[in-house]
Amino acid sequence: MRTIVFLLLFSLIYASCSDSKTSAEANVLAEVNGNFLYKDDLQAALPYGLSYDDSVMFARNYIRNWAENILLYDVAKENIKDNLKVDELVENYRRSLIVHSYQQELVNQRVSTNISEDEIAAYYEDNKEAFVVKTPLIKGLFIKVPVNAPRLNDVRDWYRTETYDAVENLEKYSLLNAVSYDYFYDKWTLVSDILAKMPLKGNKPEEYINKNRHIELQDTEFYYFLNVTEYLNEGDQEPYDFARLEAKDMLINIKKIDFMRNQKTDMFNEAIRKNKIKSNYLE
């Protein structure tokens, strides 16, 4: 469909093109001061799923913007006094991009992301001050059911209890009756993720959850049941199982930084040894 619209679009815009034009000329959409915009460029930029009218509008705006940018650039070149300074900035940026790309490729090839569990745990223990709760966390269970769901009194009993039988009963019940069911007795979860599923009013819903560990809410369509077994406030120590991935990422980043620092040092020392660097200030 996109190809058909594209062909129709350019048959409309360039219906005036003569058959005598070469294929290269026919592929040109616009020319400004020796700069050419081609059909392939526009086709690559054309969003998927546009209607015919929207495609025509997009094409016209795209061509106009391209032409305006070319014209503005040409005028700017004529009026900028210090082109050498601009060339220097461009070259510095180019060098930075090349160096960054090389470093990324080198790091990806040479630095292993395999970090042992002992290393991660040790780093966590040595840097606990870096791992604090940024937004409240909870462990517990949440279930949402329609107001006309059966056995609501059983649900009220089950969701408050953490026994194997109660959880099993809720899981079986939720398969047929629950709109949403989340079991997170064994993992820390963002309070905000659970609040997004509940119609809890008030300015500080997190505090309400912290103070009321068994919560039942109702609106016109659903009942909401939340059992909170553990709660961590902002600023509390992040538990290891929640901080583990962040600690691992930190360790990998440290390894990458150390690798590149050593790589640059080795390259520098080798260049000194081979007399490729000459400076009285390095002696």
In the chain the first and final C-alpha atoms are separated, in Å, by: 70
Structural domain boundaries enclosing 258 = 117-127+239-282
**193 plus 246 within the same structural domain:** no
What local confidence, expressed as pLDDT, does residue 1 receive? 41
What's the rounded Cα separation, in Å, for the pair 251 and 254?
Answer: 5
**143 plus 228 within the same structural domain:** yes
* Residue 112 placed within a domain: no
Contact 111, 255 (CB under 8 A): yes
**226 plus 257 within the same structural domain:** no
What's the rounded Cα separation, in Å, for the pair 47 and 63?
Answer: 15
This prediction's pTM: 0.67
Residue found by looking up tokens 């329609």 in the block: 146
**225 plus 164 within the same structural domain:** yes
Give tens-digit pLDDT for 147-187: 999 999 999 999 999 999 999 999 999 999 999 999 999 99
φ, ψ at 243 (rounded to 5°): -85, -10
**248 plus 208 within the same structural domain:** no
φ, ψ at 183 (rounded to 5°): -105, 115
Q: Please list, in sequence order, all residues whose beta carbon lies within 8 angstroms of the beta carbon of residue 46, skipping any fewer than 6 positions away.
A: 2, 6, 55, 58, 59
**137 plus 123 within the same structural domain:** no
Confidence band (pLDDT; 50, 70, 90) for 13?
A: low
What's the rounded Cα separation, in Å, for the pair 251 and 249?
Answer: 5
**210 plus 256 within the same structural domain:** no
- Convert the chain into a string of H (helix), E (strand) and C (coil): CHHHHHHHHHHHHCCCCCCCCCHHHHCEEEEECCEEEEHHHHHHHCCCCCCHHHHHHHHHHHHHHHHHHHHHHHHHHHHCCCHHHHHHHHHHHHHHHHHHHHHHHHHHHHCCCCCCHHHHHHHHHHCHHHCECCCCEEEEEEEEEECCCCCHHHHHHHHCCCCHHHHHHHHHHHHHHCCEEEEEEEEEEEHHHHHCCCCCCCCCHHHHHHHCCEEEEECCCEEEEEEEEEEECCCCECCHHHHHHHHHHHHHHHHHHHHHHHHHHHHHHHHHHCCCCCCHHHC
By percentage, how much of the chain surpasses pLDDT 90?
69
Mean pLDDT within 79-97 = 86
Give tens-digit pLDDT for 188-231: 999 999 999 999 887 889 999 999 999 999 999 999 999 999 99
φ, ψ at 227 (rounded to 5°): -115, 120
Contact 200, 208 (CB under 8 A): yes
Cβ atoms within 10 Å of 84's Cβ, excluding its own: 8
* Residue 106 placed within a domain: no
* Residue 97 placed within a domain: no
Question: How many domains would you assign to the chain?
Answer: 3
Give tens-digit pLDDT for 21-69: 555 666 888 899 889 999 889 888 988 888 888 988 999 999 999 999 9
